[in-house]
């Protein structure tokens, strides 16, 4: 299967639709169920696409093409996947607000279809209002939410809170890469919520709800906690020792987003060395990074774990550096956040946030030196 996935990766990177199709057909002929092809062939190949993007070996356009070809292959597999026997149940499946990644959620929708459910897939970036109107209009038997980027955790949290308020009896399942290493305690506001690792676990869960004549995928283990590299240990201890910020301050930080981001953007744009700081990545990428920083920190200040912050900082520094940012950019960015926080928030809120930002200021150069 690894070999099939490696060949599939070559095909999608070469934009070779015919080769991708042949590999899917070979997997079917070898007896793999469509959901197994999703898990064992498509998913690892797309993860490898992401690693190549992070290492600046391929462009965002290549990511888009890899997705489009994979979605085309998924559509081709549909007749093999759809179960002829229907349970009459409906699942509403959505990627949370802010999330442009949709393939994992679409696989989840197909998993329901394979086990006789109907799935209403709302696609990427499902605004909370939209989720709400679909829940009240369609009255699904279950809602499944997908999170790829942990910076969107606060959007997931909000969606779950709204569902707990308006559809308490409707079970919710949440899953996706963005959950790894995050503190998910806040999600327990919903009395009937399950965190599910992958399609194997999901198919086992669906088969429990609606026992199905077909054979579910073999069960997998629980959501694996990421292994943190030993070199992270001192950083994790330092983050754990930071004073907690408090929900009120996290709310104020989030609400001041537009003003904070504009302030940080203008400070960095005004620098004479700005082009050297962002290099070939360009100023637009820098502005996007500031928006992402704010979104991630809004979630992390509420529900973050040390490994969630450390993992994101390590990833951000590595990925943006390979895309052209100078290592000196990070200190200037964090300095700009400290100044913006002082200007845009109350003195008490700024005092609560300062230890976290001061820690990032001195930790980022050390994180940049860690081996990849």
Helices 103-114, 199-209: inter-axial angle, 10-degree rounding: 40
Whichever of 126 and 148 has its CB closer to ligand B12, that residue is: 148
Distance, CA of 31 to CA of 25 (rounded, Å): 10
The minimum distance between CB 363 and ligand B12, in angstroms, equals: 18
Q: At 157, list the tokens.
A: 């949290």
Cα 2 from chain centroid? Answer: 24
DSSP states of 36-57: HHIIIIIHHHHHHHHHHHHTTS
Whichever of 248 and 282 has its CB closer to ligand B12, that residue is: 282
Q: Residue 114: which H helix or E strand, with range?
A: helix 103-114
The minimum distance between CB 139 and ligand B12, in angstroms, equals: 19
Whichever of 9 and 341 has its CB closer to ligand B12, that residue is: 9
DSSP 241: T
Binding residues vs ligand B12 (CB under 6 A)? 39, 43, 46-47, 49-51, 53-54, 60, 63-64, 67, 98-105, 107-108, 124, 144, 146, 148-150, 173-177, 196, 198-199, 202, 315, 319
Distance, CA of 119 to CA of 108 (rounded, Å): 9
The minimum distance between CB 133 and ligand B12, in angstroms, equals: 20
172-175 and 193-195 beta bridge pairing:
parallel
Closest C-alpha among 341, 340, 337, 332 to residue 364: 332
Closest C-alpha among 215, 211, 219, 201 to residue 117: 211
Closest C-alpha among 4, 8, 2, 1 to residue 70: 8
The residue written with tokens 């607000």 in the block is 97
Whichever of 108 and 345 has its CB closer to ligand B12, that residue is: 108
The minimum distance between CB 323 and ligand B12, in angstroms, equals: 10
Whichever of 73 and 263 has its CB closer to ligand B12, that residue is: 73
Whichever of 47 and 214 has its CB closer to ligand B12, that residue is: 47
The minimum distance between CB 48 and ligand B12, in angstroms, equals: 8
Q: Which residues contact 111 (CB under 8 A, 6 or more apart)?
A: 35, 199, 202, 203, 206
The minimum distance between CB 152 and ligand B12, in angstroms, equals: 7
Whichever of 54 and 128 has its CB closer to ligand B12, that residue is: 54
The minimum distance between CB 205 and ligand B12, in angstroms, equals: 8
Q: Which residues contact 369 (CB under 8 A, 6 or more apart)?
A: none
């Amino acid at each position: 299967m690894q070999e099939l996935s490696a060949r599939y990766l070559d095909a999608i990177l070469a934009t070779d639709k015919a080769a991708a199709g042949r590999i899917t057909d070979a997997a079917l002929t070898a007896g793999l169920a469509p959901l197994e092809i999703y898990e064992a062939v498509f998913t690892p190949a797309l993860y490898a696409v992401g690693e190549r993007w992070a290492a600046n070996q391929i462009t965002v356009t290549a990511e888009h093409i890899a997705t489009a070809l994979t979605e085309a292959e998924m559509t081709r597999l549909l007749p093999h996947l759809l179960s002829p026997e229907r349970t009459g149940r409906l699942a509403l499946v959505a990627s949370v607000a802010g999330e442009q990644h949709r393939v994992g959620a679409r696989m989840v929708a197909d998993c329901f279809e394979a086990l006789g459910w109907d799935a209403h897939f709302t696609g990427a970036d499902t605004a909370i209002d939209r989720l709400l109107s679909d829940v009240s209009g369609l009255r699904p038997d279950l809602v499944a939410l997908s999170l790829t980027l942990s910076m969107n955790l606060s959007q997931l949290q909000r969606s779950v809170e709204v569902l707990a308020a308006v559809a308490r009896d409707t079970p919710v399942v949440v899953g996706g890469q963005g959950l790894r290493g995050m503190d998910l305690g806040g999600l327990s506001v919903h009395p009937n919520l399950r965190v599910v690792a992958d399609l194997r676990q999901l198919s086992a869960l669906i088969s429990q709800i609606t026992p199905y004549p077909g054979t579910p995928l073999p069960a997998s283990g629980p959501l694996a906690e990421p292994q943190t590299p030993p070199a992270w240990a001192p950083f994790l201890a330092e983050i754990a020792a930071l004073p907690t910020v408090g929900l009120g301050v996290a709310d104020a930080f989030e609400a001041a987003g537009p003003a904070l981001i504009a302030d940080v953007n203008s400070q960095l744009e005004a620098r004479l060395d700005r082009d050297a700081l962002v290099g070939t990545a360009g100023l637009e990428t820098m502005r996007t990074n500031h928006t992402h920083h704010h979104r991630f920190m809004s979630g992390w200040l509420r529900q973050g774990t040390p490994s969630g912050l450390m993992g994101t900082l390590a990833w951000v520094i590595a990925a943006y550096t390979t895309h052209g940012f100078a290592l000196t950019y990070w200190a200037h960015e964090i300095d700009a956040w400290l100044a913006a926080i002082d200007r845009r928030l109350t003195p008490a809120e700024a005092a609560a946030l300062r230890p976290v930002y001061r820690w990032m200021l001195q930790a980022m150069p050390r994180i940049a030196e860690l081996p990849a």
